[in-house]
Structure 1
């Protein structure tokens, strides 16, 4: 039975609905997800599918959370509250332990710190608490000489940059995000989900790989003390599951800034639209120079954690190089382990968000984003 596609598209964006419908028709029978896009601050796509879901349903978006975290740091750099060339220790003196004292904020944001996790690992309670993680990371010896290489700080980058934000402003990163970004724009993208909104949360469902996909998963290296296992905290006795992380009320309540965000596709796309465009009479959050700087590639090449080619701007993924080469230079955003994707392409004025309930194979941005992003980008260019 074909699932019904709900929502609207603007004139000229009908191909996005067609791509979404074609994908949903061929997916698992229990598919549930959303796609939303803005062009120059105007919502042009707002679609969803799934039994019991609607456009306001909320999902765990994992590392797409990093986009919200680093929009906060971009705003504070723009204000002059933070300075990219300052050493992290200017704000956070304790971070100097074990040879980390020379690291700049710029290098921290570009995943060059080398503090990807702890030798002993984190407890599940600590993973929900940025302050607790930051306190322990301050004493951790880096896993490579800071600034000389880069690797994905998957579960800790939000705690590290969040501690800098807290030291510089007296407020947590989550508080700054709520006051300066989420609340003023009414975004369904939360770093700390109020209990009253819990009924809108749709629990993450585990991946259901095909037999061929399971062979690929089984062949992936899982050494107990690799950089990858340390970065993803899978080297501990009880690592927990990815779906269990997002489905934890403690994680949703505290909103750890690396991966604990909860959002609808409307919230993801709306945040990036607010970052680069006039939206509903409010001017863009970021100035052109700031947009250019956060989207400029700072780390590119072999990622020591991901063991693959990756590229990062200032806390954001360089979306055109990492995911979609047809996007404009300087596109910036972040994907999430469950399949979510969100970004801004300043050259076309496109802001995009995607969520899904069941975790996608093989992890990171779900493969269907390729066809959806291509369709919406082509329509955006055609719309002028």
Structure 2
């Protein structure tokens, strides 16, 4: 997209800087891209912007690992309610999982990406990647790629299937069903783990990144830890663009990689989780957020190379964005999307893209400037409201 494309939508008074930053970001993108930005402050939407060819605020994008945030919001709810227990061994509910030295792995270790179960020998087929039940069946038989609990690494394609199978064994319902019933439907969220056929006309197919002139990046070796985690050891290796643009993936909504939605839906989801929405109290208590949000494992992620990457299920946002509070939580998506809640500032944020960012991976670089602008505006807005309330 270019500056000629223009920015549509609205911002509340005091959030003009966020609109200016968004306009600057989209002006730098190639023609034909697309992006959305939504921000809530203390449960009230204050930013609702979009730009790009054929893009509206209602457009639906493939948002990949943004699904992990939705999935683990549901898991956090079930832990909060005492349905699931973090330090219970997975094999207690899922006996087949105990194979190949995995009997002692706990739900907590899964959520911390410490199980070493990043993929399977020979990789997954595209049909398996779309189906969490089939992923779980193969993972139960797989030997971990490192000794569980000794290190951590991003379980990119599989974490939702692993935690989702624990949910299914305990409740008799799939994670996707419970997310729909407990989170998506009550708030009318435009974010889906399983996109209904009637919403397909709003889906805009994901586009690959435009490569930088004269540069061709070398990918990880297929049999490396990173290659296995991203299913590059399969034949053929997984193509992320083709994967998301396949209807069966969108229909089944694999909980690691199959999220479809928009910035409005994700920002509202995180607002509902941490700050309350539509006059309702937050879904998560302060104690649950304090358990799930902050960094739980220090050190280097064996798959991505990131430092201090995870809380429980969620990415620890304060490790990426120093201006966020330590209990901020959320998840990025492979196209460069980023979404989070920050209890300290009251901000719930979501930036979504149609095309992959040139740098690849989740949480494109522009999130630093966009999220920082949102948090600055939120601080001023809160101060002004407090002064107004005192005077009144």
**Same fold (TM > 0.5):** yes
1:42 is displaced (CA, Å) by 0.4
CA distance in 2 between partners of 1:134 and 1:31 (Å): 35
Where does residue 54 of structure 1 map in the other structure? 56
Where does residue 293 of structure 2 map in the other structure? 295
Q: What is the 5 A alignment of 1:252-291? A: 252-291=250-289
Where does residue 11 of structure 1 map in the other structure? 13
Q: What is the 5 A alignment of 1:128-167? A: 128-167=130-169
Aligned residues: 379
Where does residue 336 of structure 1 map in the other structure? 333
CA distance in 2 between partners of 1:362 and 1:94 (Å): 39
Where does residue 235 of structure 1 map in the other structure? 233
Where does residue 90 of structure 1 map in the other structure? 92
Where does residue 324 of structure 1 map in the other structure? 321
CA distance in 1 between partners of 2:299 and 2:305 (Å): 10
2:37 alignment partner, SS class: strand
Question: Residue deviations 1:275-323, cap 9 Å, x none?
Answer: 01121122111011001111121122111111342420010000110x2
Normalising by structure 1, what TM-score?
A: 0.97
CA distance in 2 between partners of 1:122 and 1:237 (Å): 9
Question: Residue deviations 1:216-248, cap 9 Å, x none?
Answer: x23x4x223111111100012212311111101
Where does residue 380 of structure 2 map in the other structure? 382
Q: What is the 5 A alignment of 1:64-75? A: 64-75=66-77
Question: Residue deviations 1:164-184, cap 9 Å, x none?
Answer: 000011000000000000000
Where does residue 357 of structure 1 map in the other structure? 354
Is there any run of 5+ residues in structure 1 with no aligned partner, and where?
Answer: none
1:28 is displaced (CA, Å) by 1.1
Where does residue 105 of structure 2 map in the other structure? 103
- Comparing 123-132 with 28-37, which one deviates more in the overlay? 28-37
CA distance in 2 between partners of 1:47 and 1:132 (Å): 38
Contact 2:330–2:339 (8 Å) recurs in 1: yes
Question: Residue deviations 1:29-78, cap 9 Å, x none?
Answer: 22211000001000000000012211010000011110001001000000
Taking only aligned residues, the RMSD between alpha carbons, in angstroms, comes to 1.1
CA distance in 1 between partners of 2:146 and 2:182 (Å): 35
Is there any run of 5+ residues in structure 2 with no aligned partner, and where?
Answer: 383-392
Contact 2:21–2:373 (8 Å) recurs in 1: yes
Where does residue 210 of structure 1 map in the other structure? 212
CA distance in 2 between partners of 1:37 and 1:300 (Å): 29
CA distance in 1 between partners of 2:200 and 2:56 (Å): 15
CA distance in 1 between partners of 2:29 and 2:134 (Å): 40
1:309 alignment partner, SS class: coil
Question: Residue deviations 1:82-117, cap 9 Å, x none?
Answer: 001111112211111011111111111000000000
1:43 alignment partner, SS class: strand
Contact 2:118–2:228 (8 Å) recurs in 1: yes
Task: Give 4+ residue runs of structure 1 displaced > 3 Å after superposition.
Answer: none
Normalising by structure 2, what TM-score?
A: 0.95
1:335 alignment partner, SS class: strand
2:46 alignment partner, SS class: strand
CA distance in 1 between partners of 2:89 and 2:82 (Å): 15
